[in-house]
A = this chain, B = another copy of it.
């Protein structure tokens, strides 16, 4: 669709997006130049011409701070330092479970009012994943539901907490208990069986505590 950007053009495009998010206004040519190391505003202007020709930005002639990103998504993205973000994880067989967060499916930057109101105050540790079975059906969580997870190790989970865990390749919601040096994962539904694992069993990885559930109907 749009022609690819050169390395330099890309750096400038990225800077504009970052500046927009952090300052809530577009940068001047001088500010761009200072950021990417170009002393002449004319040098910057030529790059902007290229970005505009490739339809990545739109400029208004003779107006200060009037660069607009064509791609709405980039323009809408909010300042990641100021608002909660949620990392979406998806399990694939090649991932080490401990590294789920580092190979995310994506990241949501969410409206702070929306999330705060509905889920309290999820922070950077939050992950989003989908329940892989109906084991908690009796307690209002169904297969496919989106689970908002506060990432924590099994040592930090309290007895009786609802946790998200990877058992083999499946992501499960279960009640957690630790007794007799064993992790116990208890489903709400009797048709599913309670599982028991040794603390560092490779077949079971506790992702964290479930703090929210979302379901699309």
Contact = CB atoms under 8 A, between A and B. Distances in A.
A117 B210 CA distance: 19
Contacts of A25: 25-26, 65-66, 68
Contacts of A146: 118
A109 interface: yes
A110 B128 CA distance: 16
A108 B114 contact: yes
Contact of A211 (B75, B76, B217): B217
Nearest to A64: B64
Contacts of A214: 118-119, 212-215
A99 to B, nearest CB: 22
Interface stretch (A78-86, A152-160, A190-198): A78-86
Interface string A85-114: 010100000000000000000101111111
Interface residues of A, number: 47
Contact of A111 (B66, B108, B137, B215): B108
Nearest to A83: B76
A78 B113 CA distance: 12
Interface in A179-217: 210-217
A20 B75 CA distance: 12
A119 to B, nearest CB: 5
Given A64-B64, A142-B140, A216 B120 contact: yes
A82 B68 CA distance: 15
Given A25-B66, A211-B217, 6 more contacts: A76-B78, A76-B112, A106-B117, A118-B216, A140-B140, A213-B215
